[in-house]
Amino acid sequence: MTTVQPNNAGNGSGAVARLLIVGPQGSGKGTQGVRIGEAFGIPVVSTGDIFRANIKEGTPLGQQVTEITQRGDLVPDELTSEIVRDRLTQDDAAAGFLLDGYPRNAVQVRHLDEFLAAKGEKLDAVILLDVARDESMARLRQRAVDQGRADDTEEAIAYRLDIYERETAPIIAVYGERGIVDTIDGTGELDAITARILSALEARGIVPATV
């Protein structure tokens, strides 16, 4: 594993953590993201959460996203990147951030690179939660039952996993070439998974203020 020193001082430990968490639906990415964000005292920046919040509040952005998705289109890369750029300029992201759901493709990777480079920054690590497809399917089926989500059919779940696998592979390849990807076993107890993530980050010199 390549040791990567954080870019600048920022949180209580003297390490700024600029992170990306990646994993298929059902990998526990959302849960682990919250835990890592709390450990480092950094915001979890999820494009999905931002979109949903704006739609619920009826903001101009929410209306724009609703119109786009109702047409069956994807939110354009430039709009998505603009939203993330705006979020990352807020004060609570000065000491770092955890990205979830962005970047999703090569164009968005370039947008993020350009934004961070302009500030003399870069991603410190990419956390890849590794969960077998069968395990993800089983977890999503159970979630559908628990939450009464009739739209989460076997075919719909498989389709979303196909999209993830197709879109994520090129992104992981790019970051893998940079030596910043930590592949974490995403199975087992939540605390054990969190410990694996923190251990991998610690090996890079990225240590939460609470450690």
Among 52, 149, 166, 178, the active-site one is 149
The single residue listed with the structure tokens 């390849």 is: 173
Cα dihedral 30, 133, 170, 163, rounded to 10, equals -80
Q: Is 143 a catalytic residue?
A: yes
Among 29, 87, 139, 196, the active-site one is 29
DSSP letters for 55-79:
HHHT-HHHHHHHHHHHTTPPPPHHH
List Cβ neighbours of 179 (8 Å cut-off, separation of 6 or more): 2, 4
Q: How far apart are CA 142 and CA 151, in angstroms?
A: 13
DSSP letters for 99-122:
EES---SHHHHHHHHHHHHHTT--
Q: Is 122 a catalytic residue?
A: no
Phi-psi category of 156—alpha, beta or left, where left has phi over 0 and alpha has psi -120 to 50? alpha
Among 18, 35, 87, 104, the active-site one is 104
Among 110, 122, 141, 143, the active-site one is 143
Q: Is 160 a catalytic residue?
A: yes
Q: Is 149 a catalytic residue?
A: yes
Among 122, 133, 141, 160, the active-site one is 160
Q: Is 141 a catalytic residue?
A: no
Q: How far apart are CA 137 and CA 118, in angstroms?
A: 40
Catalytically active residues, by annotation: 29, 104, 143, 149, 160
